[in-house]
Structures are given as structure tokens and as C-alpha cells.
Amino acid sequence: MRKLLTVLLISVMVLSLAACGGKQEEARKIGGTLIIGNTTEMTGDWITAFSNIASDSEVLNLITGYYTVDLTSAGEYVINKTAVKDYERIVNDDGSITYEFEINKGLKFSNGVEITAKDYVADILLWNSKFIADLGGSNTVSFRLKGHGPYSKGETKEFSGVRLLDDYKFSVTIDAAHLPYFYELPLVRYSPEFLPFWLGDGVDVADDGNGAYFTVEVTEEAFGDIFKAARENPIYVSSGPYVVEEYDVASKMVTLKINENFAGNYEGQKPSIETVILKLVQQDTMMDELRTGGVDLLYGVVAGGTIQAGHDLVEEGIGITFSAYPRSGYGKIHFVTDHGPTQFKEVRQAIAHLINRDEFIQAFARGYGSVVHGPYGEGQWFYQETRQELLSKVNLYPYSLEDAVRVLEEGGWTLDANGNPYTGEGLRHKMVDGQLMPLVIEWFGSANNEFTDLLAIRLLENPDIAAAGMKFNQTVGDFGELINWYTRTGGEQYTVPTYHMFNLATSFTPMYDLERTYTPGGSVNYNRINDEELYRLAKELVRRDGTDRDGFKKAFVDFIVRWNELLPDIPLYSNTLHDFFNEKLKDWNLTANIRLVHAILYAYIEE
């Protein structure tokens, strides 16, 4: 019955979203506090150039606004008229496309400083600079803009595809080499950045006609300490609906207040909830916190046992309700493919054959999820419209010790520790660069995580693992530590290749583009997989006009088939996400197509 109610609720939510108005309702009063529980530890370093922790990203979204292009509740990208007075799309003779924006006057940061075109240009210049790469961050966010390559490498001081035209006008040019593009409008989605927070008062933005540039050379030697201090200060200058008031490092809790200078989103919507608190909760106790008022909202709940406990609270009639929606993402084993046994696809395939994914998802999601076979989620339209074709073309990797042994032997794992033919005792080995490599997988899993615990049973206690000649060594730590090893950032020790796999989950925005994810040698290619065919297919997926949905679907299937063979991840589940919350929270309409900030903007508290 619960599952039926969930499905019905999803249908009702889709209809209700269409009825959501964009104007601030007079009946709503600004006030109230919303305490949100999150099972992922925050770091207080909200920017995403150096890591990709979802909870940090949620805070960044709450304090960032006035994007040139905004996201609607339906997951569509539109010009943000609150920020943009006017714009023009220009097709150039060389095939590139320029978007020229005129920014509205009177917009302000949280500190009262007026926002101008320089602040938008500063955002692009800073986060794509060689300075960011030298500090260990990713500076490829705008790699499709003209002139990004030379600028990001420090070969030119000007970013030729970014122009500062006057105090309230700037332009960005998409390189013809990256066109057509299925998601063109989001490519020019930029927000203002208060540059003095990051670099001090001595750096300005200028443009002499060849592209925008910093008036001072921004180097690690000159500005590294200033930038590091800014990263360690969690109270950023905000352009969004909220501003950070306090971050408690010990409790991993952040308190945000309404930014009084925020003029609204693309349709002028301003927040009504005065105080938003995000706090760390543990999966095994978070429903108790919801019951006792320790939190008001638990969002994106994935574990089946926790979902069932939430439904029990709802049925008790104590003022708790819920919403549900299909996920645009998946939980996975993430492989690192540049060292150790997992650099070989046969090892990755063998591991897939030694995990009963149908049984795993039943244990984890308990009927609220399904197995997927690539980097996608149940809630994404292109999967829903190609599902049958896709399932007929991919390897489902059914549980089979025999198949695991077969692919290992095909991959050359046929020796024992002495270099003799493997006879079934001990570990398999393979001769790699003249050295015997044992089939030992170093795995880092996050602590206090049912996902990790269930996976450990299947990898550490499964006799078929040993029978295949394989061994897993598990290390457990907090999620921030996992991300440091995953991204190889956060300190010199993390740059040494150590772990072969991690378990975590990922979610997608409506802009489904994996080109950077699988760029050989790319800064956000965390699988570190170098396969030109996979990269080509990822590019071809998005290199089409935005109206070519049929072509996109065909390219999606082709991409997934190749991905499924290489198996840089083992997808373990996609599921129906659940939000459980106190009934004082009204108009709560989070879906897989939007982020937390978009739902908070339209919600309010009724005590």
C-alpha cells in the first residue's frame, strides 16, 4: 500500500508543480526556522572547484543567485529577468555563438555592494584561471568558451571569449568547436562573484578589446594565502537568497539567514523561511530526530529501511508527512582505473559478476528502487524513452562465479604468487610491466553508512570472492576523507594513488553532459579512465541541436553500451527518493530536476 501511495503522490506532485505561482504570496509571512538533516558531512568549504560534496554544494546554491540563466521548478533553463535586463544571441561568421547580456541596475550583494558586469566577468576569470589549477582545483567549468584553453593554461592574460563591454554589459562566446550543443542556454549561465573576498582589494577586471583580464597577475605566490584564508572562512559574500550566519565545525552544522538584498529568482520569488539550518544526522537515528523535533526535514532519503521508518512516523499521525519522486542519479561502486587491478576492465567486470545486484537493491532499497546498468537514473526522460532498447543491448552482469573466473582468465589473471599457472588456491596474479600484480582491491567506504555495511557483507564475507582468487581490503572513514582520496585533493598525501574503488552516489542536473567526466586526463575524470571511444560518444551525445531529442536518445544508447562494457562504475541502484518533514513546512515540492534551494524558495513555515 505504501508503494502505491508513493506512486500516486509522485503523479500529484507533477500536476501541482504546474500550478505553483511565481509571485510572493501576500498571505505568507517571512519567518520560521527550517532545520534540515543531511547524512553527508559538510566541510565549510562551499566552492566546488576543489571537491564535489553534495552538502557543501547545497550551501553554495543557497548563497548564490542572479544567474543569467535560471532553473524553473519543471527543470527547464530560462533567462533570469531579475538579473538580465536584456540579451542578444549572435551567430558569428566563424560559427561561434555570442550571448551579450545587459544586467539590471540596483542588484546588490549581501554586503550592500552594487553588482555590475565586472562581477560576472570576475566569476568567469577566477574559476577558469591557471591560478585555480595551480592550487589543485578544476578550472575547466567554462571550457566550451572561446579562448578557454590559452587562458586556463596561463598562455594569455585575456580570456578572448569573455568581454566586458561597459558597466552593465558583458558577453561570452561559445567556441564553434563545441557547437551545436544540446544544452546551449546553460552554457552561458553565470553569476556574479565578489572578487575582493577571494583576492583582496588590489585586483580589478579590465578589457582593452581582446578579451577580459585581471589587472594584476594572479599567481599562487602572490595570492595563494589570501585565497586559502577565504576558503577557510565559511561566511561568503552572498548573491543568493541566503547568507551564512554561522558554521560550527565540530557539529557540522550551518545556519543561514535571509539575504535582505536578494531581489528574487527568475520570476521574482524571494524566500519566506527566515532561518535555514543544515545539520549532520546519522542514518540510524535521523527518524528519531524528526520525531522529537531535532530536525524538520529529511530530504532525498534513499535507504529502504529508513524510508519504512519514515512511513511509520507518518502513520502515527504526529504531524509528519512525506513526498516522493524518482531519482535522477544512481548509487555505485566507483573504480579508479589508472593503477592496480581495477585498471583492467576484466577485473571490473568480474567484480560485477560477484555482486548480486537484484538482491543488494532489495536489501538496501526494500522495494523503493531498481537496478540500472549505466550512469543514469530512473527519473531521466531519455532513459525512460529508451529503456527496452537499452536493456536489450547491455550486459546485465548476472551473478556468476563461473563468468567472473572466465573474464579474469581472459584478462590474463592466470598466475599464482610464484608466477606459475594458477590452480585455484590463494590469489590470482597477472604479469604487469615485468612484475606480478596480486588481485587485491583496496576499497575506501564511508562510515555510518548502510550502503557501505551492506556492500561489506557481499565483498568481505562472500566465499565466491576468494574462490575467484580475489581479495578486498576495506578502509572506512568519514565522507570528507573519502572525497579527498577520490579527487586526490586536500593535501599532498591524497595525491598518491592508494585506493582502487569507493562506494558513493551521484545525481544529475537536467543538463546531462558527461564529456568532462570522461575526458582523458581531465581534471574531473575521477575514474581516471582514458578511453577515446567513450570520450567520443560522450561528446557526440550533446553535440546536437536542442530540438534533436531522437538523436539524443540514440546517442545515449550508444554511449551507455560502450560504458557498460568498460564499467568504470558498477551501478547498484537508482531509486525513489523520499522527503519526510514536519507538517509546518508548507508548499514543499522538491523533485529530482531541481536542487534544495529551488524548493526552499517556494516553501514557507506555518507554526
pLDDT at 27 over 70: no
Chain centroid, CA 30 distance in Å:
31
Rounded CA gap, 47 and 524, in Å?
Answer: 15
Cα 108 to Cα 58, 70, 104, 116, distances in angstroms: 22, 18, 10, 9
DSSP string computed for 51-92: ---HHHHHHHHHT----SEEE-TTS-EEE-TTTEEEEEEEE-
Q: Which amino acid is at 378?
A: E
Number of Cβ within 10 Å of residue 185's Cβ equals: 17
pLDDT band at 8 (very low <50, low <70, confident <90, very high): very low
* CATH number, span 330-576: 3.10.105.10
Q: What average pLDDT does range 284-300 have in this prediction?
A: 96
pLDDT at 22 over 80: no
Q: What average pLDDT does range 371-378 have in this prediction?
A: 94
3-class secondary-structure state, position 313: helix
Q: What average pLDDT does range 532-556 have in this prediction?
A: 97
pLDDT at 25 over 80: no
Q: What angle do CA 470, 471, 474 make, to 5 degrees?
A: 150
Cis before 234? omega within 30: no
Per residue in 493-536, pLDDT (tens digit) is: 999 999 999 999 998 989 999 999 999 999 899 999 999 999 99
| Range among 11-15, 504-508, 597-601 rated most confident | 597-601
Q: Which three cell numbers stand for residue 385?
A: 524513452
Q: Where are the domains of the chain?
A: 66-233, 330-576
pLDDT at 73 over 80: yes
pLDDT band at 26 (very low <50, low <70, confident <90, very high): low
Per residue in 219-237, pLDDT (tens digit) is: 999 999 999 999 999 999 9
3-class secondary-structure state, position 396: coil
Rounded CA gap, 96 and 409, in Å?
Answer: 50
Q: What average pLDDT does range 8-26 have in this prediction?
A: 43
Percent of the chain surpassing pLDDT 70: 95
pLDDT band at 40 (very low <50, low <70, confident <90, very high): confident
Q: Which three cell numbers stand for residue 67?
A: 544567474
pLDDT at 34: 98
Rounded CA gap, 367 and 6, in Å?
Answer: 11
DSSP state of 559: H
Burial zone of 578 (CB within 10 Å; 0-12 exposed, 13-18 middle, 19+ buried): buried
Q: What average pLDDT does range 14-36 have in this prediction?
A: 64
* H helix or E strand, kind and range, residue 166: strand 162-166
Percent of the chain surpassing pLDDT 90: 86
pLDDT at 102: 99
Lowest-pLDDT range of 35-39, 46-50, 474-478, 518-522: 46-50
Question: Helix and strand tally (H, E) in the chain?
Answer: 20, 24
Rounded CA gap, 433 and 418, in Å?
Answer: 16
pLDDT at 13: 41
3-class secondary-structure state, position 188: helix
Rounded CA gap, 124 and 20, in Å?
Answer: 33
Q: What average pLDDT does range 96-100 have in this prediction?
A: 99
Q: What average pLDDT does range 247-259 have in this prediction?
A: 95
Closest alpha carbon to 574 in 387, 427, 416: 387
pLDDT at 96: 98
Cell 501511495 locates to 5
Average pLDDT, the chain: 94
Closest alpha carbon to 128 in 109, 146, 108: 146
pLDDT band at 118 (very low <50, low <70, confident <90, very high): very high
Lowest-pLDDT range of 4-13, 178-187, 322-331, 508-517: 4-13
Chain centroid, CA 382 distance in Å:
19
**One CATH from 3.90.76.10, 3.40.50.300, 3.40.1280.10, 2.30.42.10 for 66-233:** 3.90.76.10
Rounded CA gap, 284 and 471, in Å?
Answer: 29
Counting Cα atoms < 13 Å in the Cβ hemisphere of 279 gives: 20
Cell 543514469 locates to 376
Cell 578589457 locates to 207
Cell 517571512 locates to 30
Q: Which residues contact 128 (CB under 8 A, 6 or more apart)?
A: 139, 140, 141, 142, 143, 145, 148, 151, 152, 159
Rounded CA gap, 390 and 357, in Å?
Answer: 18
Number of Cβ within 10 Å of residue 46's Cβ equals: 24
Query: Are the folds of 66-233 and 330-576 the same?
Result: no
pLDDT band at 367 (very low <50, low <70, confident <90, very high): confident
368 or 414, which is more confident: 414
Per-residue HEC secondary structure of 582-599 comes to ECCEECCCCCCCCCHHHH
pLDDT at 228: 95
Q: Is the dihedral of CA 257, 262, 266, 269 positive or negative?
A: positive
Number of Cβ within 10 Å of residue 190's Cβ equals: 24
Q: Which three cell numbers stand for residue 361?
A: 537493491
Closest alpha carbon to 242 in 230, 260, 265, 267: 260
Chain centroid, CA 582 distance in Å:
27
Cis before 186? omega within 30: no
Q: What average pLDDT does range 81-98 have in this prediction?
A: 98
Rounded CA gap, 552 and 539, in Å?
Answer: 11
